Chains A and B, each alone.
Chain A
């Protein structure tokens, strides 16, 4: 259903001098932006550039500190999301605002302002979802749906309001390449109907492919507006990052050594109703090798990390082997003592205690594995401050961690700098096995390239490195071998040079190659 046009000269949405302060920090600083009717407009920027803050203001979730929003030429104040929807602005959030315990229809009904019966909502949602090629079962519980399906709910939910402008926040970060293609089809359809799309992303390739215009943000300011098709990826990256990003060099990787980390038919039942069970996972990482495990979020990555690291030991001692010794039932410290290092996915609350200084975070992680270096006083185990301080300094220098003061609380560092410290904390031990989950999630390009280089260098120095990541660019940068995890099953590994993105996409969707025969016995 096409929508009617805006007054000939006007923009659909114009933002002038929009500013949002958190304390003295300007998350958005004097933003100017215009969106025309029927265009797909990209909002580009690194994490922390102010993209999310900007769209939250447009959708009425945050109140601007200063500046003006013009909707079809009229100055408006968007007090809350209901007001935004009333104007004709729909939003699809990056972290889905869905309720797991409710059904698809209930979730959709929640965002409808008018009092329509649930049956009617279900019927309308089902009709719209098919019209836009986004099939959905209205009676399904959200907890049982895949990430891609959940995103469809969000999109259908937005479409039910018949919006003029749809805002999508990093929509493809959780999708397989095939799912993303399907999403793009839907976006073209919306554009053809005269609707506008504000497309937030940091994936340059996508933006070049589908967007008509782009506005680039850096540190809360607009640093450029352009036609992305007329730019090159590196010129766009320059606008986003402000300088050229160092490319990771992976040449000259040493020859394969001994197997350092191995999983043998690792099978782990799901711990919670929302967790994924691991099914017959076999993998080997040799010294000098980086094995990357690709996959869409929520397919068992976290569970695999827990089993390999010993955060949750598994029942079968021989299912996990570190340096060819069975460790399945041993805990994380026992595995660290054998020369392994682990970097979990979440920086805050998992890999680091935000409120504690870096030095304390260092002691927490390594007090057992490096007791000789960090603890003194015999059985009293008194922390040796001098040793800890110098190690903190050493790590910060090695990884170029930028911080205020000698030893600030972990929470005061930016995501990228904290991640560099956390990775550096493990690298500092020169582990012969390193398992790292989502090493650069939500990290700026500079820090990401520093971390990836460190992983490659570690492997070159003869360690076995296992990287679990959702970021295909990252995987191709660091990996020598690639395997794909889907619904708790791991594909066979492929040499990185032989694997195309399309092939990975198929594997992500659960299309296995050779492993098909073994999986039947373990299917549930």
Chain B
């Protein structure tokens, strides 16, 4: 395996959790809910995936546990913000802090354990294509899922009736309610989907990226995912492009260190976050584009007047 191939493989591995967490948040935000708890749901997914893998010996069961835990954890946010109409920003931040704390406690007995990695699945025929095969078709299931989910979300949002309703709820919840769309139910489901995706992203971290449990191992990826959603202007395929760009930036710092470039490592490891800020500035520059694509009722609580 050549060095280029190795670098590209590591970019894919680094980008997959970003894409997954971001596509979930994209659906949540399209329904008009701003969930800043991505980081917390991700870390909860990571710890429960690792724990169940250790207990059962099956990384697939672990992966499912990560998904379930992320989805369940997100429903705490949904209950607080949708049913009790708590402030979404504050509740999202609280969810992140809670997730980091609870995951640290849950994972204490798993610290330092040797993890079980999700093995790559080679797709017959396609895996033998030179160059492309080993990169794209000898991957673990979570990578395949990430691409399938993005394609599915694109189809769902822009081709299906349910997706149309979800976009309508995000654009104007009062109008959607007047038409008889159940705003609260739609948002509960969207938040749950976001949680499940963040949980899966977390599972990728503890089962593929670095198969072990380290406290706070999501390391700010949830925040990058949030920035990615804005970067993509709420469009699924643009989000993949952005995810891989960020993946590349975060990997390039590792390789730059390995090559011994004379740049302080602290500066290099801050690159993804610097890139986040730069991209957000560039995006906000194009106001027209942002305004047209932003779900108009993003972050606004809905209380039916009954």
In the assembled complex, the Cα of A85 lies from the Cα of B178 at a distance in Å of 12
In the assembled complex, the Cα of A272 lies from the Cα of B306 at a distance in Å of 34
In the assembled complex, the Cα of A111 lies from the Cα of B171 at a distance in Å of 15
Inter-chain contact A80/B180, CB cutoff 8 Å = yes
Report the minimal beta-carbon distance from B200 to chain A, rounded to whole angstroms: 28
Which of chain B's residues 269-306 have a Cβ closer than 8 Å to chain A?
A: 287-288, 291-293, 295-296, 305-306
The listed residue (A63, A100, A110) touching B179 by CB distance below 8 A is: A110
By secondary structure, the B interface counts as helix
Inter-chain contact A110/B165, CB cutoff 8 Å = yes
The listed residue (A82, A98, A272, A273) touching B180 by CB distance below 8 A is: A82
Report the minimal beta-carbon distance from B239 to chain A, rounded to whole angstroms: 18
Inter-chain contact A81/B179, CB cutoff 8 Å = yes
Inter-chain contact A81/B178, CB cutoff 8 Å = yes
The listed residue (A61, A98, A102, A143) touching B164 by CB distance below 8 A is: A102
- Interface size, B (range): 20 to 34
Known A62-B306, A80-B180, A273-B292; contact A110-B168, beta-carbon cutoff 8 A: yes
Cβ of B161 under 8 Å from chain A? yes
Cβ of B147 under 8 Å from chain A? no
The listed residue (B161, B167, B180, B292) touching A143 by CB distance below 8 A is: B292
Cβ of B214 under 8 Å from chain A? no
Inter-chain contact A100/B180, CB cutoff 8 Å = no
Set of chain B residues within 8 Å of A99, measured between Cβ atoms: 167-168, 171-172, 175-176
Set of chain A residues within 8 Å of B171, measured between Cβ atoms: 99-102
By secondary structure, the A interface counts as loop
Report the minimal beta-carbon distance from B168 to chain A, rounded to whole angstroms: 5
By beta carbon, the residue of chain B nearest A274 is: B291
Q: By CB atoms of chain B within 10 A, which of A60, A82, A273, A274 has the most?
A: A273
In the assembled complex, the Cα of A272 lies from the Cα of B292 at a distance in Å of 9
- Interface size, A (range): 20 to 34
Inter-chain contact B178/A109, CB cutoff 8 Å = no
Set of chain A residues within 8 Å of B180, measured between Cβ atoms: 60, 80-82, 85, 111
> 0/1 per residue, B169-199, Cβ < 8 Å to A?
0011011111111000000000000000000
In the assembled complex, the Cα of A106 lies from the Cα of B177 at a distance in Å of 16
Inter-chain contact A110/B292, CB cutoff 8 Å = no
Report the minimal beta-carbon distance from B234 to chain A, rounded to whole angstroms: 10
Report the minimal beta-carbon distance from B222 to chain A, rounded to whole angstroms: 27
In the assembled complex, the Cα of A62 lies from the Cα of B287 at a distance in Å of 38
In the assembled complex, the Cα of A175 lies from the Cα of B174 at a distance in Å of 23
Set of chain A residues within 8 Å of B174, measured between Cβ atoms: 97
In the assembled complex, the Cα of A62 lies from the Cα of B306 at a distance in Å of 6
Known A80-B180, A102-B168, A272-B291; contact A109-B306, beta-carbon cutoff 8 A: no
Inter-chain contact A115/B296, CB cutoff 8 Å = no
Set of chain B residues within 8 Å of A93, measured between Cβ atoms: 178
> 0/1 per residue, A28-55, Cβ < 8 Å to B?
0000000000000000000000000000
Inter-chain contact A109/B179, CB cutoff 8 Å = no
Inter-chain contact A61/B291, CB cutoff 8 Å = no
Inter-chain contact A97/B172, CB cutoff 8 Å = yes
> 0/1 per residue, A245-286, Cβ < 8 Å to B?
000000000000000000000000000111000000000000
Which of chain B's residues 67-94 have a Cβ closer than 8 Å to chain A?
A: none
Inter-chain contact B164/A115, CB cutoff 8 Å = no
Set of chain A residues within 8 Å of B306, measured between Cβ atoms: 62-63
Set of chain B residues within 8 Å of A143, measured between Cβ atoms: 292
Inter-chain contact A102/B175, CB cutoff 8 Å = no
> 0/1 per residue, B28-69, Cβ < 8 Å to A?
000000000000000000000000000000000000000000
Report the minimal beta-carbon distance from B238 to chain A, rounded to whole angstroms: 16
The listed residue (A63, A101, A109) touching B161 by CB distance below 8 A is: A109
Report the minimal beta-carbon distance from A273 to chain B, rounded to whole angstroms: 5
Q: By CB atoms of chain A within 10 A, which of B164, B287, B288 has the most?
A: B164
By beta carbon, the residue of chain A nearest B292 is: A273
Set of chain B residues within 8 Å of A100, measured between Cβ atoms: 171-172, 296
Inter-chain contact A97/B178, CB cutoff 8 Å = yes
Q: Which 5 A-B pairs have the closest CB atoms?
A: A97-B175, A81-B180, A82-B180, A99-B171, A97-B178
**Would you mind naming 30 contact pairs between A and B with Cβ atoms under 8 Å apart?**
A61-B177, A62-B305, A80-B180, A81-B178, A81-B180, A93-B178, A96-B175, A97-B172, A97-B174, A97-B178, A97-B179, A98-B172, A99-B171, A99-B172, A99-B175, A100-B171, A101-B171, A101-B292, A101-B295, A109-B161, A110-B165, A110-B176, A110-B181, A111-B179, A272-B287, A272-B288, A272-B291, A273-B288, A273-B292, A274-B291
